[in-house]
Amino acid sequence: MSREHGWAALNLEMPPRVPRTEYSVEGHWELLAAVTGMTVRLESSEQEKQAAQNEFFRRWNYDLFWSTLIGGGDLGESRTRMGHAEYAAGGVDYSAQITSPFKTVDQVLDFDPRAAIGAPDHADTVQRFEEHYRAQRAVYDGGVRMTGIYITCVSGLIDLLGWDWLLLAAGTAPGRFSRLTARYNRWIRCFFEALAEADVPVVMIHDDIVWSSGPFMNPDWYRQCVFPGYREHFGMLRESGKKVLFTSDGNYTMFVDDIAACGVHGFVMEPLTDMAYVAERYGRTHAIIGNADTRVLLNGSREEIRAEVARCMAIGKPYPGFFMAVGNHIPANTPVANALYYNECYEEMARRW
């Protein structure tokens, strides 16, 4: 019933069980082996890994799968490389590559994504979205699948410029930086046009607009330069009949109302964003996905893990579009016993009737 329960929640039709999703845990091979009873490890073949992941999804009852297609790779050679810390099992995602195509702040402020990167072919991009969606369903169709855009605006600027150049440019010439943001919005529009045309029912729009403490730019910049682009682009997706879900890391509580006004159907949030605020204002009209704290699974006692699941359930369970999730991933260094107990608590508390 996972796919049915996921769709019911997205359509705000209260399913009998609180649906759930998780992030990154499918690469925690020790946990997958414990849950499925299958022999799987980092060195296993891709076929063995996929089989174990599919069985894990079934046993943990995934109702929704987070996914996007358009990301940093679509920025071409204009992209800044900021390196990557070790996160995945075996450190396979570690990178020490740090490079930037920019040498001066004027180069940053004058950058034109359309001129430097070019515009993708519309028909090809529509096909990419549809193939991405169909390929996921072909691998495992037990929950709601999606495609989407990762580099919507702020995340795209971070990926292009890197943090140092972004903050320096914004602080040096705010007016020119606003015009750079407008040029980026015009460039990314072509991907939203293609996504609107693509035959996919649910889309994920990702944009890391804040830090853990909240906005890292003046809130006026978001409201003058970022959210107008959201309204335009999200509007195309809504008009095409799609469910539009929004994700940002960090604490975006300050902007929840702004994002709702841009036309999203649901919020995906880490534990830093105030889910109680989101539920109180939008629990009857929007999907709510989150937001247990992974730090509790990493370091907490069984009592603390149970309390964290209970906190999320107390906030979200009364609302039809609530999905349980650990809001900032379950990484491969999470103790297996803690992850298993988290799932036990979820299963115990998930039933509505």
- What confidence tens digit (pLDDT) does each residue in 292-307 have? 999 999 999 999 999 9
CA distance 333 to 345: 20
Domain count, the chain: 2
For residues 216 and 177, is the Cβ–Cβ distance under 8 A?
no
Q: Give the rounded percent of residues in the chain with a pLDDT score beyond 90.
A: 91
Over residues 23-48, the mean pLDDT reads 97
237 alpha carbon, distance to own chain's centre? 17
If asked whether residues 44 and 78 sit together in one domain, one would say no
- Same structural domain for residues 156 and 214? yes
Residue 339's identity, in one-letter code, is A
CATH of the domain at 227: 3.20.20.210
pLDDT tens, residue by residue, 139-173: 999 999 999 999 999 999 999 999 999 999 999 99
**pLDDT score for 84:** 47
- The verdict on 244 and 107 lying in the same domain is yes
> What pLDDT, on a 0 to 100 scale, did the predictor assign at position 328?
87
> Do 134 and 150 fall within a single domain?
yes
Q: Minimum mean pLDDT among 95-109, 187-201, 218-232: which range?
A: 95-109
pLDDT-derived band at 50 (thresholds 50, 70, 90) equals very high
Q: What is the pLDDT of residue 334?
A: 97
- Give percent of the chain with pLDDT exceeding 70: 95
Q: Is 274 domain-assigned? A: no
User: Is 268 inside a domain boundary?
Assistant: no
Q: Do 324 and 20 meet the contact criterion of CB atoms below 8 Å apart?
A: yes
Based on the domain organization, do 330 and 346 belong to the same domain? yes
Average of pLDDT values for 315-333?
Answer: 96
Average of pLDDT values for 308-325?
A: 98
Last residue of some domain: 250, 278, 313? 250
The pLDDT value given to residue 100: 86
CB 159 within 8 A of CB 75: yes
Token pair for residue 114? 């359309």
Q: How confident is the model at residue 312 (pLDDT cuts 50, 70, 90)?
A: very high
Residue 302 included in any domain: yes
Host domain of residue 41: 1-66+289-353
In the predicted model, what is the mean pLDDT of residues 7-30?
97
Reference 35, options 281, 346, 289, 262; nearest CA is 346
Record the tokens describing residue 201, joined without a space.
């029912």
- Mean pLDDT across 85-108: 73
Q: Report the candidate in 259, 233, 258 with the shortest Cα–Cα distance to residue 247.
A: 259
pLDDT at 15 over 80: yes
Q: Which range has the worst mean pLDDT, 1-5, 127-131, 232-236, 346-350?
A: 1-5
Q: Among 221, 250, 279, give the residue marking a domain's end.
A: 250
Overall average pLDDT of the 20-36 stretch = 97
Q: What is the per-residue pLDDT for 82?
A: 57
- 148 and 222 assigned to the same domain: yes
- pLDDT (mean) for 8-29: 97
- Best CA proximity match to 215, nearest among 166, 181, 170, 250: 250
Q: Do both 169 and 305 map to the same domain?
A: no
Same domain, 118 and 243: yes
In a domain, 273, yes or no: no
